[in-house]
Amino acid sequence: MNNNKLALAREYRPHTFEGVVGQEITLRALSNALDNQRLHHAYLFTGTRGVGKTTIARILAKCLNCERGISSTPCGQCGTCIEIDKGCFPDLIEVDAASRTKVEDTRELLDNVQYLPTRGRFKIYLIDEVHMLSGHSFNALLKTLEEPPSHVKFLLATTDPQKLPATVLSRCLKFHLWRLPIPKIVRHLAFVLEREGVSAENDALVELAHAADGSLRDALSLLDQAISYSHTGITASTVRTMLGLSEKEQLLALLNTIAHGDSQEVLKKIEQLAENAPDFSGLLTELLTMIHQVAIAQCSKEALDEDLQKSEKLIQLAGLCSREEIQLYYQIGIAGQRDLAYAPSPKMGFEMILLRMVAFQPVRIGNFVAKDNSENVPVATQTNFIPKSAISQSLPAAQSSAVPQSSEPLKMAATITIPPEVAIEDLTADLRRTEMMDPPNWRTVVQQLNLSGLVKVLAENSIVAEWSADFIHLVVDSAQKTLLNKRYEDRLRDVLSQHLGKEIRLKMTEGKITENTPALQNQRHLQETTDAAHQMIEVDTKIQRLIQAFDAKIDNVLLKDKK
């Protein structure tokens, strides 16, 4: 007797459509088609891993070959149903396309298509990960897939339908299986644990469902691991330890420290987190998820996850920060995820991202006074982000004196009153603390810069909107807005700073340009030079004699730069 226990993902694999979790749209379409005998010769199931593609295909094979007739509810008791469940039915040919990609394998497979099924009503080919087939294999499959014998059905499954040729897609009924939502995964895990006689906290199941990322198979595999790891009952703490996640209270405390602008305390908390050797990329993802929850709490407490609705620290944090601050934290974190791979070390990159959150805050510019965060705050006409340390220095004397020196620097900007008569442009200039200057000839500047590639193209297709001691604003024509790229802008800023001998701030925007850019000036200059060269050639006596002697004509004029 074999007492080996199957993995939960295998033991609780559904054997009927009723047992499939989620995917109601696909199941309804298949059930109606089977019950009304509207059968197709080829079905394609797409979706991410672990959502039920192969499982539904096997159930469909049972529906088609059940000895009691074609229906959406196979009996599960006849020889055919039992053999399909055991994986030994001779007329269900399962093929792993990832290991049989060659055209010879496909031709060998199709050589047997013409033969009638041995036992069942249909001979069914279930090809998993069909996108892994080679181009020649698809070509060999096409004709059979379009007009197979009446006793043959094709069931195709793939996680990457974009790689399938359009000719294959057009020959199949396509069903996309969606990622499962968290509540459905949690309910199924609770059902499995009840059958297994294992207790678990609801928060622990929520953590497992989040980690599964919409895949029920991954959730069951993680549940298997959690049962082995916990020995007795499964708790949220043991699950987070098993998954290498930080406690939510730690993340909330870290966010609270950021909100209070305490850089030293932020670094201390990062050191505490680093003692457990976390994946800092995953830690940043957790922090962004928590920031998202704070933003949700600011809009509607009822929209939060059930476990977070009871978190007093989260609700307090939602009241401490303004909505603009939370949005800025989220934006800095999202940008930091992209840059984390370029940091000297993951920990160093994580520290810089959080210190950036501490260093900057939104300052709203408009003719209103910000109210308490719990109230509805009017939307500002314009938002600028400046360093917190520069707020008291950047504002005019009358306004700077109104800013309280408190232990909560994030709230400093909320006390600023902007008189209605002050124009946004004037205040922006005050914040820069620079005097506007007459801009130099931008084309001359570009020619003096050591630029190449698309950075040079970007500079040549822009004009100067503002030029001051340490600030330059360039405008790119809307027709050339695809040139705007953060990496190219940073490179142009560095070259300009080196050329001018001081650190400058560069702002680039798109807009309608009415004057000539350096690129248009260069183009006009080239045209004028070429026309002048044509005129010189036309009056050159030696060239005219050559034209007359050989009945020649001038095909093109190339100008050569002087070395």
Residue 143 belongs to some domain of the structure: yes
Secondary structure element (H or E) that encloses residue 347, with its range: helix 346-359
β-pairing verdict for 505-511 and 382-387: unpaired
Least confident of 85-89, 116-120, 467-471: 467-471
> pLDDT averaged over the chain?
80
Average the pLDDT over 244-263 and give the result.
84
Q: What is the number of structural domains in the chain?
A: 5
Average the pLDDT over 124-152 and give the result.
88
pLDDT of residue 311: 67
**Residue linked to tokens 């802008």:** 489
pLDDT of residue 92: 93
Residue 528 has pLDDT above 50, yes or no: yes
Q: Are residues 186 and 108 in the same domain?
A: no
Backbone angles phi, psi at 464, to 5 degrees: -85, 125
Residue 307 has pLDDT above 50, yes or no: yes
pLDDT of residue 426: 45
**The dihedral formed by the CA atoms of 358, 359, 364 and 369, expressed in degrees to the nearest 10:** 60
Domain end, chosen from 176, 199, 218, is at 176
Q: Sheet containing 462-467: which strands, arranged edge to edge?
A: 462-467, 471-477, 505-511
Query: Binning pLDDT at 50, 70 and 90, where does residue 91 land?
Result: very high
Backbone angles phi, psi at 105, to 5 degrees: -65, -40
Q: Are residues 53 and 128 in the same domain?
A: yes
Average the pLDDT over 317-345 and give the result.
88
Residue 415 belongs to some domain of the structure: yes
pLDDT of residue 308: 62
Residue 467 belongs to some domain of the structure: yes
pLDDT of residue 559: 63
Residue 86 burial (10 A CB sphere; 0-12, 13-18, 19+): exposed
pLDDT of residue 81: 92
Q: Are residues 163 and 203 in the same domain?
A: no
Residue 337 has pLDDT above 60, yes or no: yes
Maximum alpha-carbon separation in the chain:
108
* DSSP class per residue in 85-109: HHT--TTEEEEETTT--SHHHHHHH
Q: Could you tell me what percent of the chain has a pLDDT over 70?
A: 82
Q: Sheet containing 152-158: which strands, arranged edge to edge?
A: 92-96, 123-128, 152-158, 42-46, 173-176
Which is more confidently placed, 16 or 136? 16
Strand partners for 363 = 384
Query: Would you say how long the chain is, in residues?
Result: 563
pLDDT of residue 372: 39
Three-class DSSP category at 444: helix
How far does Cα 217 stand from its chain's mean position?
23
Q: Are residues 305 and 416 in the same domain?
A: yes
Q: CA-to-CA distance for 91 and 123, rounded, in angstroms?
A: 5
Q: CA-to-CA distance for 229 and 472, rounded, in angstroms?
A: 59
Least confident of 124-128, 138-142, 516-520: 516-520
Q: What share of the chain is helix, strand, coil (3-state, %, to 5)?
A: 55, 10, 35
Domain end, chosen from 432, 465, 481, is at 432
Residue 1 belongs to some domain of the structure: no
pLDDT of residue 492: 87
CATH number of the domain encompassing residue 482: 3.30.300.150
Asked if residue 156 lies in contact with residue 43, where contact means CB atoms within 8 angstroms, the answer is yes
pLDDT of residue 438: 63
* DSSP class per residue in 361-429: EEEEESSS----TTSPPPPPSEEEEEEGGGHHHHS-HHHHTTS---S-GGGGGGG----TTS-HHHHHH
Beta strands per DSSP E along 65-222: 92-96, 123-128, 152-158, 173-176
CATH number of the domain encompassing residue 128: 3.40.50.300
Residue 437 belongs to some domain of the structure: no
Average the pLDDT over 158-163 and give the result.
91
Q: Are residues 220 and 239 in the same domain?
A: yes
Least confident of 41-50, 373-382, 455-464, 514-523: 373-382
Q: Are residues 188 and 267 in the same domain?
A: no
Asked if residue 266 lies in contact with residue 354, where contact means CB atoms within 8 angstroms, the answer is yes
Residue 494 has pLDDT above 90, yes or no: no
Least confident of 40-54, 305-319, 353-367, 422-436: 422-436
Q: Are residues 414 and 464 in the same domain?
A: no
Q: Are residues 135 and 20 in the same domain?
A: yes
Residue 240 has pLDDT above 50, yes or no: yes
Least confident of 107-121, 173-187, 345-359, 372-386: 372-386
Residue 552 belongs to some domain of the structure: yes
**485-494 long-range contacts, CB within 8 A, separation 24+:** 485/454, 485/458, 488/454, 488/455, 488/458, 489/458, 491/455, 492/451, 492/455, 492/458, 492/459
- What angle separates helix 541-550 from helix 518-539, to the nearest 10 degrees? 70
Based on its alpha-carbon atoms, the radius of gyration of the chain, rounded to whole angstroms, reads 34
Residue 3 belongs to some domain of the structure: no
pLDDT of residue 101: 72
Three-class DSSP category at 133: coil
pLDDT of residue 409: 39
Residue 502 has pLDDT above 90, yes or no: no
Four-residue CA torsion sign, 330, 331, 334, 338: negative
Average the pLDDT over 465-493 and give the result.
82
Residue 335 belongs to some domain of the structure: yes
Backbone angles phi, psi at 43, to 5 degrees: -120, 135
**The dihedral formed by the CA atoms of 45, 46, 48 and 53, expressed in degrees to the nearest 10:** 0
Asked if residue 108 lies in contact with residue 93, where contact means CB atoms within 8 angstroms, the answer is no
Which is more confidently placed, 480 or 25? 25
Least confident of 73-82, 261-270, 491-500: 491-500
Q: Are residues 146 and 197 in the same domain?
A: no
pLDDT of residue 434: 41
CATH number of the domain encompassing residue 201: 1.10.8.60
Q: Are residues 39 and 137 in the same domain?
A: yes
pLDDT of residue 396: 45
Q: Are residues 15 and 138 in the same domain?
A: yes
pLDDT of residue 242: 86
- Nearest CA to 355 out of 249, 450, 447, 263 is that of 263
Q: Are residues 508 and 530 in the same domain?
A: no
Residue 410 has pLDDT above 70, yes or no: no
225: domain range?
A: 182-243
Which is more confidently placed, 135 or 127? 127
